[in-house]
Amino acid sequence: MIHRILLVLLIFSITIADINSQDFYDINRINTIEVTFEQSNWDYLLDQLVTEEEDNRLLGTVVINGISYDSVGVRYKGNSTYRDNQVKNPLNIKLDYVIDNQKHENYGTLKLANVYKDPSFVREVLSYEIARKYFPASQANFANVYSAGS
């Protein structure tokens, strides 16, 4: 009898833990990502990295849902949606750029789209959700992204 009660309690606690834990890419979660650079001209510096066509990155600090990561590497991503002097460019954030194995929920690199020509803000996330029902596809969800320099 005691074994059954313990088994029921164990199953119950595992179920509650699964319900309360959310993955970074949970569609029902809106993440908050804050990117800070030491340089006030960070946008100009990131534009310059695009013209170099190398995998160099600008060092910064990223706070994801309240958890801070130092010495991350940031660059603009993509060729089709990036534009110099654009207010909102897509970002590629490498959390383990300097600090080995620095990850957020087992993700070492975050690629943030800029909802290019999508005033609804849902096109990309919705298309990946549909695609994953039929074949392997990228994970996507929503995030409030803030960027600043000193």
pLDDT digits (tens, 9 = 90+) for 75-92: 998 777 888 777 788 999
* Cβ 95 vs Cβ 71: under 8 Å: no
Provide mean pLDDT across the span 16-37.
79
Provide mean pLDDT across the span 39-51.
91
> Who's near 124: CB < 8 A, 6+ residues apart?
113, 115, 118, 140
- pLDDT tier at 20, thresholds 50, 70, 90: very low
pLDDT at 55: 79
Dist. CA 143–CA 90, nearest whole Å: 12
Residue 62: strand pairing partners = 35, 69
> Who's near 53: CB < 8 A, 6+ residues apart?
none
Q: Any idea what DSSP says for residue 82?
A: -
Percent with pLDDT over 90 in the chain: 61
For residue 71, pLDDT beyond 90: yes
Provide mean pLDDT across the span 45-52.
88
Kindly report the pTM of this predicted structure.
0.81
Q: Any idea what DSSP says for residue 55?
A: S
* Cβ 93 vs Cβ 112: under 8 Å: yes
Mean pLDDT lowest for which of 1-5, 23-27, 67-71?
1-5
pLDDT at 127: 94
67-76 and 91-94: which strand pairing? Answer: antiparallel
pLDDT at 101: 95
